[in-house]
A and B are shown apart, each in its own frame.
Chain A
Amino acid sequence: MAEEIRNDAPLVEVRDLKQYFDVRTGAFKSKPLKAVDGVSFDINRGETLGLVGESGCGKTTVGRALLHLYKPTGGTFKFDGQLVTDKNIGSMRRQMQMVFQDPYSSLNPRMTVEDIIGEPLDIHHLYKSRSERHDNIMALMQIVELNAEHETRYAHEFSGGQRQRIGIARALAVNPKFIVCDEPVSALDVSIQAQVINMFEDLQAILGVTYLFIAHDLLVVHHISKRIAVMYLGKLVEIADADELNSDPVHPYTQSLLSAVPIPDPKTARAAKRIILQGDVPSPLNMPSGCPFRTRCRFATDQCAVEMPELKDRGSGHMVACWNK
């Protein structure tokens, strides 16, 4: 622990991450779908980085590519100073885990809760005796506030919020330093969402875990994150401190995204001026040249069609990729 505190290098360093999928467009033809195209970011120890964007922008793919659930097409990912490769990913997964969006399909319906939470312990050989395994599982269930008597139950016997707790306990089983949370609360009811969000925050305070928090609900992301990264069509367009991003968004996409969020406060909502984006997100198979957002952007110029702007620091870590701002 003392070592970690001294070490102030970022825990997660992602450089130029690329993830392409081959999509068949004809009998013998295929075309790369650039789901993630050159994404770079850092996450500091004990920090939460929020990753937001519309569906199909590649935010989930980023999370999955980091854990090598897909084989990344390009780029590097350094975890705790160590390069993550195909060869060492098995052991690296002891330090990074994932919580999935859908608590209904991410738990095996034929396994009891005890086995679901115990599986990572089995895989990484983290116990010496049966009783140690059992004690570990009990401790984990207690951490996520599940009733220990329910260990022999199956996933279908739990409500959505409880299932998500099981998913969190499973991720925590190996005592990871880094958890990728892929839309962990979007399938839950509002009142249950708050329970799970609080749990994520408490766990971070106690265990010092680092999160990549992927979600589309900007209010939730703003609440939980220290910094927020905004993605559009496989590229990062802006990264900034959460409060700064919300009070002073620079990229035109971020501006319209934030103005589109329905605010749960009638007076603010009535006064709010929305920047309504025209049209839909272009198909990632048929990406516009240059900046991917230019087809819907109010400020687009000729330059935007030629070249993708780089993510540049505008001071105090506020990074923006835009020619005109």
Chain B
Amino acid sequence: MAITDTDVNSKIQEEKVEEKVRENEEQAILRVENLHTSFFTDSGEVRAVNGVSFNLPKGKVLGVVGESGSGKSVTAYSIMQILADTGRVVEGKILYKGENILDYSEKKMNSFRGEKCSIIFQDPMTSLNPTFTIGWQLREAIQLHTDYKTKEEANKRAVELLKMVGITEPERRMKQYPFEYSGGMRQRVMIAMALACEPDILIADEQTTALDVTIQAQILELMKELQKEMGMAIILVTHDLGVIASMCDEIIVMYGGRVCERGTADDIFYRPCHEYTKGLLRSIPDVKNMKEKLVPIGGSPINMLSLPKGCAFCPRCEKALKVCLENAPDEMEMPDGHYASCWLNVKKEYEEEINAENQKTAGKEHA
């Protein structure tokens, strides 16, 4: 009797979990499954992204954090299909509302870029054309992607957009060139351009890294407001843990082209389950205890040309096991949508199981 009860219970639970997964998938506006992106260079294949999977729920801010060379930008570029000539997605799926965008024709992809998904780059100076006025460049994006086809309509819309991102005297500013704008203003223009067609997804690739803190605060605040207003989902690619903590609902930590850990902001900052995440958090000054010595991660960043066989972080990991050298760990679910790929978690779980069993047998013997 008791056995069937637990059976039923577990079945109900399984169904619940499945339902939850389905719900998540339905809510996810963008799903990346087992993405592999490689660059084919003279010195060999560089596996920049090695099996990245994540869901981007509608209207949420997803932070992608990692060091240089962790593959965070390449992941973003793969979604937009704007990789360099030598780069190619070799495996995996990128599903936008259930459709794999990797199957899109060039024409369809062009309308996906801009209309459904926009990107803001790190350096606003090199991503604006210095030989055209700001107005001209905004108009180009608007006429290309939206229904405002005439010059007057597009102009009107451009002024609206500039106002929305907080540029004063937009009519006069339209006639100016990028060099007449400050760094923060240029970044505002980039945001205006990206939002011209009210995309569902906005990718921000290190967009505030080149800015001063006070200007960065302005831009982040603006992004938050616009997100509330327009409800788009944002993928925020950055190496700054401070920006991530103040902006993101969900976070992906990347290292060596793989996802180490993903979960909510609280999961990552307060319950990190991957040695790299832990190391990263230890190596920034603690706000509450400033004079405490930092604990750096030893060694140097990974060389993408010669990836280790097992876990990418293994050569720098203090707690590495034998198995880490040989096999890359699979993603394991910590409770509630918090995933980590680390053998130590597997070991811990196994040990706990054995302990529990030992206690059981010990208990029986006593009885």
Contact surface of A with B, Cβ cutoff 8 Å: 54-55, 159, 161-162, 189-195, 197-198, 201, 216, 218-220, 222-223, 242-243, 246, 256-257, 259-270, 272, 274, 276-277, 280-281
Distance to closest chain B CB from A299 (angstroms): 16
Q: Mark B55-69, 1 if CB is under 8 A from A, else 0.
A: 000000000000110
Closest 7 CB pairs of A and B: A262-B242, A194-B296, A194-B283, A260-B217, A269-B246, A223-B285, A191-B297
A194 to B286, CA, bound (A): 12
Chain B residues with Cβ under 8 A from A219's Cβ?
A: 242, 284-285, 287
Pairwise interchain contact A191-B240, C-beta atoms closer than 8 A: no
Which of A161, A198, A268 has a CB less than 8 Å from the CB of B287? Answer: A268
Contact status of A220 and B246, CB under 8 A, knowing A189-B67, A190-B280, A242-B290:
no
**In the docked arrangement, what's the CA distance between A292 and B300, Å?**
43
Please state if B221 and A190 are interface contacts (CB–CB under 8 Å): no
Can you list 19 A-B contacts (CB < 8 A)? Answer: A190-B284, A192-B300, A192-B301, A193-B283, A198-B296, A218-B213, A219-B284, A223-B290, A223-B294, A260-B214, A262-B216, A263-B242, A263-B287, A264-B242, A264-B245, A265-B287, A269-B246, A276-B217, A281-B212
User: Is B245 touching A260 in the complex (CB atoms < 8 A)?
Assistant: no
Q: Is the Cβ of A277 less than 8 Å from the Cβ of B218?
A: yes
- B252 CB to closest chain A CB (Å) equals 15
Is B243 a contact partner of A220 (Cβ separation < 8 A)? no
Tell whether B101 is near chain A: CB-to-CB under 8 Å. no
The reply to whether B212 and A54 form a contact with Cβ atoms under 8 Å apart is yes
Query: What's the minimum C-beta distance from A270 to chain B, rounded to whole angstroms?
Result: 7
Q: How far is the CA of A197 from the CA of B301 in the complex (A)?
A: 17
Q: Does B241 contact A (CB under 8 A)?
A: yes
| Contact among A159, A218, A263, A267 for B300, CB-based, below 8 A | A159
- Number of CB contacts from chain A to chain B under 8 A: 127
Interface size counted on chain B using CB atoms at 8 A: 44
Q: A193-B296, A216-B213 are in contact. List 11 more A-B contacts (CB 8 A).
A: A194-B282, A195-B296, A195-B298, A198-B294, A216-B212, A218-B213, A260-B216, A266-B246, A266-B270, A274-B217, A276-B218
Question: DSSP class of B's interface residues: helix, strand, loop or mixed?
Answer: helix
> Are A191 and B290 in contact (CB-based, < 8 A)?
no
Partner of B279, one of A159, A191, A198, A266: A191
Partner of A194, one of B185, B213, B284: B284
Kindly report which residue of chain B lies nearest to residue A202, judged by CB atoms: B293
Within 8 Å by CB of B285, from A192, A220, A266, lies A220
Residues of A close to B301: CB separation below 8 A: 159, 189, 191-192
Chain B CB count within 10 A is highest, among A162, A260, A266, A269, for A266
Chain B residues lying within 8 Å of A159, measured Cβ to Cβ, are: 300-301
B144 interface residue (CB < 8 Å to A): no
User: Nearest-CB distance from B189 to chain A (Å)?
Assistant: 14
For residue A100, give the distance in angstroms from its CB to the closest CB of chain B: 19
Cβ of B90 within 8 Å of any chain A Cβ, yes or no, is: no
Inter-chain contact B242/A256, CB cutoff 8 Å:
no
Question: Residues of B contacting A201 with CB < 8 Å?
Answer: 293
Within 8 A of A (CB), among B145-196: 182, 184-185
Interface string of B206-222 (1 = CB under 8 A from A): 00000011111110110
Query: Is B266 in contact with chain A by the CB < 8 A criterion?
Result: yes
Task: Indicate if the CB atoms of B245 and A265 lie closer than 8 Å.
Answer: yes
Task: For the complex formed, measure the closest distance between the CB of B240 and the CB atoms of chain A, giving whole angstroms.
Answer: 7
Q: Which residue of chain A is the closest to B210 with respect to CB atoms? A: A55
